[in-house]
Structure 1
Amino acid sequence: MLRIGNGYDVHRLVEGRKLMLGGFEVPHTKGVLGHSDGDVLLHAITDAIIGALGLGDIGLYFPDNDENLKDIKSSILLEKINNIMLEKKYEIMNIDSIIVIQKPKLKPYIDEIRKSIADILKIDVELVNVKAKTEEKLGFTGDESGVKSYCVVLLQRRGDDKI
């Protein structure tokens, strides 16, 4: 059985915070404002897995008013959802994601971001695709006040024949 899920997340960029993307710290003058470390890419992936499993959304598992989650690494949240996915006997067939940010240019970091995600999920890096886009200086990402991420994930029940 195959299941597909999509995820989305958005956060404001501010000075004095780290820019975490895919569990990797990208050097930049601004970082992500969030209740956790604000990693929009890991949040989108987490949300996509939850959606593929038909279990609601990330806010049901990790509410942004839970003080126990203040400044938590988003990789920990993704690991928890990955464990739920594995308990339900599903595995990731592939992840396709997009980060939308004007600056910095992410091309030099894409391979490290992909590897970080693969390491968190304990999957082959070839199952993880990350694309970086700008919005040509339009909107809140274009004026460098925010960052957003989209993700689609395909799951397969373990033991089913591979596609």
Structure 2
Amino acid sequence: MKINTGLGQDSHAFCDTNKPLVLAGVVFDYPKGLDANSDGDVIFHSITNAISSITGVNVLGAKADVLCKQGVTDSAEYLRLAFNDLNHCKIQHIAISIECLYPKISPMIEKMKFNISKLLNITLEDVGITATTGEGLTEFGKGNGIQVFSIITVTE
């Protein structure tokens, strides 16, 4: 059995539009969304990048840009594309680390885990999510946006 590990990162600043804040497909009750052509779902983007680091197929960028121009701004669609590229690989675990001051992440972790597990056909126990303010040392910890790192482990 071959084991592969992928690392993904994404970050976006908050914007002052009426755009909803979406994280892992969950709409948060927060007055600012994230500045992006898509819905700005940094969690789905980070996982997409982690999968791309395994498959070598870069979904975010050219493929996502084409979809955005066609009106497809739901980041779950980008994640589905990356997931399909895994072919015969089985996801064993996803670890997600979120850095932000706002919104509070903990109350929504179970909903986010549910969405991720459903989308990627894995169990809730296969998804780990942690959140930190990073003691306010970065722009994310100061409340100016959200940064996410994801590590995915797959087997062939």
TM-score (norm 1): 0.86
Q: Which residue of 2 aligns with 1:12?
A: 13
Query: 2:40, 2:22 → 1: CA distance?
Result: 7
Query: 2:68, 2:106 → 1: CA distance?
Result: 34
Q: Which residue of 1 aligns with 2:48?
A: 46
- After TM superposition, give the deviation of residue 65 of structure 1 in Å: 9.2
State the one-letter code of the partner of 2:150.
C
Q: Which residue of 1 aligns with 2:149?
A: 150
- Secondary structure in 1 matching 2:6: strand
Give CA deviations for 1:35-61 in whole Å, capped at 9, x if unaligned. 110000100001101111233463253
User: Is there any run of 5+ residues in structure 1 with no aligned partner, and where?
Assistant: 158-163
Answer whether contact 1:9 1:40 (CA < 8 A) is retained: yes
Q: Which residue of 1 aligns with 2:114?
A: 115
Q: Percent identity, aligned pairs only?
A: 27
- After TM superposition, give the deviation of residue 18 of structure 1 in Å: 1.3
Q: Which residue of 2 aligns with 1:21?
A: 23
State the one-letter code of the partner of 1:149.
V
User: Cα RMSD over matched residues?
Assistant: 1.8
State the one-letter code of the partner of 2:84.
N
Query: 2:127, 2:93 → 1: CA distance?
Result: 6
Q: Which residue of 2 aligns with 1:161?
A: none
Q: Which residue of 2 aligns with 1:92?
A: 91
- After TM superposition, give the deviation of residue 146 of structure 1 in Å: 1.2
Q: Which residue of 2 aligns with 1:55?
A: 57
Query: 2:66, 2:36 → 1: CA distance?
Result: 9
Q: Which residue of 2 aligns with 1:102?
A: 101
Answer whether contact 1:44 1:150 (CA < 8 A) is retained: yes
- After TM superposition, give the deviation of residue 93 of structure 1 in Å: 0.7
Query: 2:68, 2:19 → 1: CA distance?
Result: 20
- Asked whether 1:138 is paired with 2:137, we answer yes
Structure 1 residues 122 and 132: CA distance shift in structure 2, 3 A: same
- Secondary structure in 2 matching 1:142: coil
State the one-letter code of the partner of 2:49.
D
Answer whether contact 2:59 2:81 (CA < 8 A) is retained: no
